[in-house]
């Protein structure tokens, strides 16, 4: 894909070929009764409509509705957008490198973030909680997804690596705030934060665009996270661990389960239980704070400024129930608005 420009940067009448995410591929019919392809082509910087004016039904059948393709064609301005007129297209399994260009991704280093999470877990003191952390860390498949998954479909941290970034931000935030609340058990807080969203590894899909899995729709990350925790806790007693085997005490397991079930705070926001221990209350509130900061900063003061984002206020952001005032107020001269 080295030779093509990002979608954000397309110019009129530009030739291009490369790998794209394809979305909502449909077969249309021209006024002359000829089939044509209509779809969106996307990469991590945006998406734009595309048309292929001559395509057979058989050719169309080889393309994914939502997935990845290699395509060649040229741009044509249409209603203010750069539409792509496709000459050639075929299904394509992207390499990991290509994937990075196709899906939005954290701006931070994934390996670096994961090693910070590891450090924080290594600072745990309670032996059973440490053992439980090890059961998760040794599950390579899960940890692979943990490093790759977004934290949400939309809203906050909705990019590859978002789950890891959000989890690390919470663990670091907790470490900074805990000295103010010495009555809290640090092991429970840090382990609870590490676990609280891990069910998203099964709830979300991201390899063909962000979506909910069947398990996500029927069980969800909160239910799946709790079921997973039960299995990992049982694994701490496995004979295979030899002398290292030890039981996670009931109250610890119940409170960690409770943290997963309660971290959304209230039933209307998806909690099965209202937070009922100081550690659960702390986690639920800190989670909410970090999600809202990620959302509001991304909308008002993003690393890469949004094109065409004029005005001092954003559009209404439904999750925050308001328009946001964008500038740092100390930079706004009197009379500017």
DSSP code, position 124 = -
CB of 146 to a second copy, least distance (A): 20
CB of 102 to a second copy, least distance (A): 22
Applying CB under 8 A, does 187 fall inside the site for a second copy? yes
DSSP reduced 3-state for 18: strand
Nearest approach in angstroms of CB 217 to a second copy is 6
Q: Does 3 bind a second copy (CB under 8 A)?
A: no
CB atoms within 10 A of CB 242: 7
- Which of 89/252 has CB closer to a second copy? 252
Q: Partners of 15 in the beta sheet?
A: 74
- For helices 186-196 and 220-235, the axis angle rounded to 10 degrees is 120
Residue whose pair of structure tokens reads 């309660």 in the numeric block: 262
In sequence order, the 6+-apart residues with CB closer than 8 A to the CB of 201 are: 142, 145, 146, 149, 163
63, 161, 171, 215, 250 from 233: Cα distances, Å: 44, 26, 21, 22, 10
- The footprint of a second copy on residues 109-128 (CB under 8 A) is 126
Binders of a second copy: how many residues, by CB under 8 A? 96
Is the Cβ of residue 148 or residue 262 nearer to a second copy in the bound state?
A: 262
CB of 316 to a second copy, least distance (A): 10
| Per CB under 8 A, 274 contacts a second copy | yes
- Tell me the closest approach of the beta carbon of residue 247 to a second copy, in angstroms: 8
Q: Which of 2, 31, 140, 305 binds a second copy (CB under 8 A)?
A: 31
Near a second copy in 144-183, by CB under 8 A:
169, 172-173, 176-177, 179-181, 183
Residue 253, helix vs strand vs coil: helix
* Residue 13 Cβ vs a second copy, minimum distance, rounded to whole Å: 7
Write the DSSP assignment of 152-187 as a string of letters.
-SSSSS-SBTHHHHHHHHHHHHHHHHGGG-TTS-HH
How long is the chain?
Answer: 337
Residue 300 to residue 312: CA distance in whole angstroms = 9
Site for a second copy in 289-308 (CB under 8 A): 289, 292-293, 296-297, 300-301
Span 241-270, contacts to a second copy by CB under 8 A: 247, 249-252, 254-255, 257-258, 261, 266-268, 270
Binding mask 202-231 for a second copy (x = CB under 8 A): -----------xxx-xxxx-xx--xx--xx
Phi first, then psi: give them for residue 66, nearest 5 degrees.
-130, 120
Distance CA 103, CA 42 (A): 9
Contact stretch for a second copy (CB under 8 A) within 85-93, 94-102, 134-142, 329-337: 329-337
Beta carbon nearer to a second copy, 244 or 297: 297
Nearest by Cα to 199 from 215, 181, 214, 183: 215
Asked if 201 interacts with a second copy (CB under 8 A), we say: no
Residues 38 to 77 in contact with a second copy, rule: CB under 8 A: 65, 76-77
- If one asks whether residue 286 binds a second copy (CB under 8 A), the answer comes out as yes
Residue 240 in contact with a second copy, rule: CB under 8 A = no
Label the pairing between strands 204-205 and 46-52. unpaired
Q: How far is the CB of 222 from a second copy (least distance, A)?
A: 6
């Amino acid at each position: 894909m080295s030779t093509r420009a990002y979608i954000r940067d397309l110019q009129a009448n530009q030739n291009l070929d490369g790998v794209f995410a394809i979305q909502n591929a449909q077969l249309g019919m021209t006024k002359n009764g000829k089939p044509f392809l209509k779809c969106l082509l996307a990469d991590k910087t945006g998406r734009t409509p595309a048309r292929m004016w001559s395509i057979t039904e058989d050719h169309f059948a080889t393309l994914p509705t939502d997935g990845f393709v290699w395509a060649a064609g040229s741009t044509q301005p249409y209603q203010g957008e750069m539409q792509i007129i496709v000459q050639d297209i075929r299904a394509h399994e992207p390499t990991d490198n290509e994937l990075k260009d196709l899906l939005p991704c954290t701006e931070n280093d994934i390996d670096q973030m994961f090693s910070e999470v590891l450090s924080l877990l290594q600072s745990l003191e309670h032996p059973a909680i440490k053992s439980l952390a090890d059961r998760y860390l040794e599950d390579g498949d899960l940890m692979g997804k943990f490093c790759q998954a977004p934290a949400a479909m939309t809203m906050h941290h909705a990019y590859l690596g978002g789950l890891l970034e959000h989890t690390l931000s919470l663990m670091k935030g907790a470490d900074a705030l805990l000295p103010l609340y010495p009555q809290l058990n640090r092991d429970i807080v840090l382990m609870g934060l590490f676990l609280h969203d891990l069910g998203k590894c099964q709830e979300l899909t991201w390899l063909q665009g962000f979506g909910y899995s069947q398990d996500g729709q029927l069980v969800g990350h909160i239910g799946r996270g709790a079921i997973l925790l039960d299995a990992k806790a049982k694994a701490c007693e496995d004979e295979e661990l030899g002398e290292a085997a030890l039981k996670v005490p009931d109250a610890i397991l119940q409170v960690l389960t409770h943290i997963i079930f309660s971290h959304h705070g209230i039933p209307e926001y998806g909690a099965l239980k209202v937070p009922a221990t100081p550690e659960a209350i702390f986690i639920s509130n800190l989670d909410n704070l970090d999600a809202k900061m990620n959302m509001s900063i991304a909308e008002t003061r993003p690393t890469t400024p949004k094109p065409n984002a004029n005005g001092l206020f954003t559009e209404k952001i439904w999750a925050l129930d308001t328009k946001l005032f964008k500038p740092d107020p100390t930079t706004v001269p009197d009379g500017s608005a």
